[in-house]
Amino acid sequence: MYNVLAVLFAVAVFTVSCTKENSDVRFDPKLSTSQVLSVTSDSATVVGFVVAQGSGFSERGVCYNTEANPTVENNKVIYVGDDAKATFNVVLSGLHFATTYYVKAYAVNSAGILYGEEYTFTTLPIVPALTTTAITAITGNSAVSGGSVTNNGGSAVTVKGVCYSESHNPALGDTLTFFTSDGDGDSTFVSTLASLKGNTIYYVRAYATNSAGNGYGPEVTFTTLADLPTVTTAAITEITKVSAVSGGEVTSDGGSSVSARGIVWSTNADPTLLDNNIAAGSGTGSYVSSITGLTTFTTYHVRAYATNSVGTAYGSDVQFSTLADILTWYIPGDYVEASYPGSTFANWDPANSPQVKSTVAGPDNLEGYVYMANTENNWKFASQPNWDGPNYGDDNNSGVLDPNAANNITSTAGYYKLNVDFTALTYTAVATVWGVIGDATPLGWDDETLLAYDPITMTWRGGLHLTAASYKFRANHNWDYNYGSDAGDGNLQAGGANISITTEDDYYFILDLSNPNEYTYSANMWGVIGDATPGGWDSDQNMSWDEVDKAMAVTVDLTVGTFKFRANDDWAINLGGDINDLTEGGDNIAIDAAGNYTIKLYLDGTKHCVIVQN
C-alpha cells in the first residue's frame, strides 16, 4: 500500500542584505521535515528539506521513536547521497506493524544538531498469524479441526475458520476449496468439516481475515474413513394399475466398491432390504428397475439402495399410487358436434366424445352426463377410444347392451344422466333438468328453482336470491337425483350434505356435471368496487340477479375513476379488462364521466358487461 502524508511546514525566513560589498553573507542554517511517504507494515520513507545551507552540514538524516520528540539518541538513519541537494529521502526499515512512530529530520553542523518538525505515521497491519489444530473425530464424511489466532496482525479478525481441499495449500476463493466460518476475534476455535468423501486425502489450513487480508496456519493432512455410498431414487414413471418403473443412481461409492444396488418398495414409508427389493447390479452410475405385481389403486413407497463394505445406504422415499381399476367408456354419435360447440369433440369419433366412468368404489358401474341437442340423436357406447370394440348398441332401446346390435341407441334432445352396469351389460339414460332447492331458496324444500344449461361451458347456470339457510341441487323434481357437499368445498356428492348460506343476497350459480364422478359447483355474490363507486376500494356495491337479461345488475352513481367486479366481497375472484371479454384479475375498468349508471355482468359463455349511463 502506498500512503503519502503530506504536511505543511512553517519556516522562519531571515532576510539580510546582499550586495557586492557583502557577497559572503549566508542564511542561518534551517531544516524542515516535509513528508512521510510509502508507509508499509515495516517501512516508511521520510523526506527532509534544507531550507538554508548555512555554513554546511556534516551529517543529515532522520531520527524516530515510538514516543514523541525523537532525537538521534533514539533511532536514526543517516542520509547517504548527494549533499548538494536541498531535499533528501531516508528509508526507515525494520519497523513494527500497526505501530505509531514519531519522526524528525535532523542535520549536524559545527554549531550542533538541528531538528526539523515532528511528524507521525502508523505502519500498516499484517495478515493474522495462526496455528492449525490437528485433525480429530475422523469419519467417512466428517472430521474436526480448528485453529488459534496467535497474532491478529494489528487489525481486528473479522472471520476465521478452516479451508480444506483435496489439493495442497487450500485457500479461500480457490476452486473446489471448502471452508467453515467459526466466528471472529482472536480466540481459539473449533471447526467441523462436513460433506467429505470417503477414503479420501484432505488438506486443511486454518485461516483468519483482517483488513490486511487472509492469514493461514500450517497445512495438516488426513484421510477419511470409507463411508456409505451416496444414492438417489429416480422418479416413478410408467405407472399402471399393477406396475411402475423406478431406479436410482449411485453417485459415490464412499471410498469402497459398491457390491450391490437396486430398489426396495413397500406400502409403508422408508422401505429397506427387509421389504420387497429388486437388485440392479453393482458399481456406481444409474440404473432402471421395473416393479410388477402391484395392487390396483394402492400407495407405494420406493427407495434406491447401494451396499459397500461399510453398509447399505438408501435414497429418498418416493411415493406413488397405482391407477385405479376404473373403466372409461366413450359415447360417440351424430349429436356430438351440435351439442358441444367450440370444443374438440367430433361426431362418431370415440376418442373425441363425452365419456362415462366407473369409480374405485364401484369399478363395474359407469356414470356420466351427456348433452344431446338434436331432435333425434343416434349414439353408442364404445369401450375403447376407437372402434376396436366391443361397442354396444340397443336394437330396441330396452336398456340392455348388445355388442352385436344392428342399431344405434336413439334419444330425443336432453341432458342425460347415463349409467352402465358393466357386469349385467345394462344401462339407463335419464334426461335431467337441474335446479336449486332448499330453505334458502325462493321455493323452499317444495321444489327446485331451475337453472339453465349453457352448451359453451357445459354447465348449468343461473341466479337467484338466497336467505341465510341451506340448499342442494336437484333434478326432475325427484330426490333420486340430488347432490350436496359434505365438506362445503365446491365438490359434490350424490345425496351429500346440505350446503349452508350465511349471507342473504343474490347468488350466481354454476353446476358442473361434465366430468364423470367429479361434480363441482359454485355460488357467488357479485358486486362492483373501485374509486369510481360510492364505497371506493373499501366496500362493494352489491349486484342483483336480472332474470330477464340473465345477468347480475346494479344501478349506481359513479364518479370519474375506475372499478372492477368482485365476488363475495373478496379479491380471490375478480374480473376486469376488456368489457367485451372480462378476465380473472384483469385491469381496472375506466369511467370517464360522472353520472348514474346501470351495469350488467353476463357470466355465461364469454364473460362480459354492459355499462349504460342513465
What local confidence, expressed as pLDDT, does residue 405 receive? 85
Q: Quick one: 518 and 538 in the same domain?
A: no
Strand 100-109 vs strand 112-122: parallel, antiparallel, or unpaired? Answer: antiparallel
Of 52, 154, 58, nearest to 107 by C-alpha is 58
Other beta carbons within 10 angstroms of residue 268's beta carbon come to 12
- Rounded to whole angstroms, how far apart are CA atoms 267 and 313? 20
Residues 73-126: pLDDT tens digits?
Answer: 999 999 998 877 788 899 999 999 999 999 999 999 888 999 988 999 999 999
Q: Quick one: 15 and 111 in the same domain?
A: yes
Give the mean pLDDT of 147-168.
Answer: 96
Q: Quick one: 265 and 160 in the same domain?
A: no
Alpha-carbon distance values, 468 to 320, 450, 507, 522 (Å): 43, 20, 12, 16
Residues 419-456: pLDDT tens digits?
Answer: 999 999 999 999 999 999 999 999 999 999 999 999 99
Q: Which domain range does residue 61 map to?
A: 4-122
Q: Quick one: 496 and 414 in the same domain?
A: no
What local confidence, expressed as pLDDT, does residue 561 receive? 98
Give the mean pLDDT of 267-273.
Answer: 97
Using CA of residue 64, residue 70, residue 74, residue 79, what is the dihedral sign? positive
Q: Quick one: 88 and 11 in the same domain?
A: yes
Phi first, then psi: give them for residue 440, nearest 5 degrees.
-85, -10
Q: Quick one: 278 and 341 in the same domain?
A: no
pLDDT of 594 > 80? The answer is yes
Residues 389-411: pLDDT tens digits?
Answer: 999 999 888 999 999 888 899 99
Alpha-carbon distance values, 140 to 205, 286, 301 (Å): 20, 23, 28
17 or 609, higher pLDDT: 609
What local confidence, expressed as pLDDT, does residue 33 receive? 56
Q: Which of 38-42, 300-304, 315-319, 478-482 is predicted with the least confidence, judged by mean pLDDT?
A: 38-42
Q: Quick one: 13 and 102 in the same domain?
A: yes
Q: Quick one: 8 and 101 in the same domain?
A: yes
Three-state DSSP class for 143? strand
pTM: 0.60
Give the mean pLDDT of 145-159.
Answer: 96
Domain of 213: which CATH number? 2.60.40.10
What local confidence, expressed as pLDDT, does residue 595 receive? 97
Give the mean pLDDT of 219-227.
Answer: 97
Q: How confident is the model at residue 19 (pLDDT cuts 50, 70, 90)?
A: very low
Q: Quick one: 449 and 519 in the same domain?
A: yes
Q: Quick one: 424 and 455 in the same domain?
A: no
Cα 38–Cα 39–Cα 43 angle in degrees, nearest 5: 105
What local confidence, expressed as pLDDT, does residue 384 receive? 96
pLDDT of 21 > 70? The answer is no
Give the mean pLDDT of 301-313.
Answer: 97
Phi first, then psi: give them for residue 22, nearest 5 degrees.
-135, 50
Q: Quick one: 56 and 38 in the same domain?
A: yes
Domain end point (choices 406, 431, 456): 431
- Rounded to whole angstroms, how far apart are CA atoms 113 and 51? 15
Q: How confident is the model at residue 51 (pLDDT cuts 50, 70, 90)?
A: low
What local confidence, expressed as pLDDT, does residue 34 receive? 61
Residues 515-568: pLDDT tens digits?
Answer: 999 999 999 999 999 999 999 999 999 999 999 999 999 999 999 999 999 999
What local confidence, expressed as pLDDT, does residue 9 receive? 31
Domain of 518: which CATH number? 2.60.40
Phi first, then psi: give them for residue 331, nearest 5 degrees.
-120, 70
Q: Please, is 575 exposed, middle or buried when counting C-beta atoms within 10 Å of its C-beta (0-12, 13-18, 19+)?
A: buried
Domain of 387: which CATH number? 2.60.40.3620
| Share above pLDDT 70 across residues of the chain, in percent, rounded to a whole number | 94
- Rounded to whole angstroms, how far apart are CA atoms 95 and 92? 7
Residue 286: all three cell numbers together: 444409474
Domain end point (choices 305, 321, 337): 321
Q: Which residues are paired to 52 by β-bridges?
A: 30
Q: How confident is the model at residue 32 (pLDDT cuts 50, 70, 90)?
A: low
Domain end point (choices 372, 407, 431): 431
Q: Quick one: 359 and 425 in the same domain?
A: yes
Contact yes or no for 306/313 (Cβ under 8 A): yes
What local confidence, expressed as pLDDT, does residue 49 receive? 83
Mean pLDDT of the chain: 92
Q: What is the number of domains present in the chain? A: 6
